[in-house]
Amino acid sequence: MRAHVTNTEVVIDVQGLTKSFCKFQALRGLDLQVERGQVHGFLGPNGSGKSTTIRVLLGLLKADGGRVHLLGKDPWADVVELHRRLAYVPGEVSLWPGMSGGEAIDLLGTLRGGLNEKRRAELIQRFELDPTKRGRQYSKGNRQKVALVAALASDVELLILDEPTSGLDPLMENVFQEVVGEATQQGATVLLSSHILAELESLADRLSIIRDGQTVEHGTLTELRGRAKTSIHAEVERIPEPADLAALQDVHLDGKRLSATVESDRIGQAMALLTGYGFKSLTVEPPSLESLFLRMYEDDETTGVKE
């Protein structure tokens, strides 16, 4: 997998990143590689270190150890130069209470080095945002829209989005996905931290899953799926001997009803085995993202570390 990464340009390159706050170790050797032009899903349970990683990438926190490169530069030392080329949407959008949304968008956009006026107007319209409301009057979703418009209205190379849609309604979620799609078509790279699995499924080219400040899985969705198991439910004509089903896992036999799981790359083998007993019915379910994540979030041993 590493070989694949080195062939293309790596926009975010984090290796062995560590960061502690007093005695609490937030990051313990985290790895993250994001290639140019891709949407990279970044996920993990609450408190696993996603926001801390993003703040290190933004030069807001100083890394204790490890290697962090952003667009080939050091995020702590080359802050201003890097920030001209990226835009950020924080997880908790806190607006200035007395400042209107329109003013906040112009403030953040201008400080970054200018906004694309046409894009700004278009995004405000598509996100159905009222820019004249004051910061304290916006709901959570509308505060996020302000931050999204401010970030997406600039022509930048890299978008860092920290759970940007947790307060958006499904309609606005669609708009968000369209807009991010358009950004990548124009060559932007996106680091997308999110818990909304449907969003990741439709947007993310690659994923990194972290837990307790470490990367536990990374790869394309297909690769991750390949490592997960497919579940099989069948009603068979002849009852098989349990010993004959060694190729399957989690076997559960209830009369003629059989349920089991199998490694995704061994489905063919499993089918061949089961055909011998005759089917009345058969369901084969590929692993859903949800089951994938549930398994990874729940696992107590970090057996998934692949380095």
Task: State the residues that interact with another protein by CB under 8 A.
Answer: 21, 55, 58-62, 79-81, 83-84, 86-88, 90, 92-108, 110-113, 131-134, 136-137, 147, 150, 160
Q: Which is nearer to another protein, 156 or 168 (by Cβ)?
A: 156
Task: Give me the least distance between CB of 80 and another protein, in Å please.
Answer: 5
Task: Give me the least distance between CB of 141 and another protein, in Å please.
Answer: 15
Task: Give me the least distance between CB of 15 and another protein, in Å please.
Answer: 21
Task: Give me the least distance between CB of 228 and another protein, in Å please.
Answer: 35
Task: Give me the least distance between CB of 221 and another protein, in Å please.
Answer: 29
Q: Which is nearer to another protein, 92 or 182 (by Cβ)?
A: 92
Q: Which is nearer to another protein, 123 or 150 (by Cβ)?
A: 150
Q: How many whole angstroms separate alpha carbon 224 and alpha carbon 283? A: 21
Q: Which of 200, 138, 207 is nearest to 167 (CA)?
A: 138
Task: Give me the least distance between CB of 120 and another protein, in Å please.
Answer: 10
Q: Which of 271, 268, 232 is nearest to 253 (CA)?
A: 232
Task: Give me the least distance between CB of 56 and another protein, in Å please.
Answer: 9
Q: Which is nearer to another protein, 14 or 56 (by Cβ)?
A: 56
Q: Which is nearer to another protein, 99 or 221 (by Cβ)?
A: 99
Q: Which is nearer to another protein, 55 or 211 (by Cβ)?
A: 55
Q: Which is nearer to another protein, 60 or 284 (by Cβ)?
A: 60
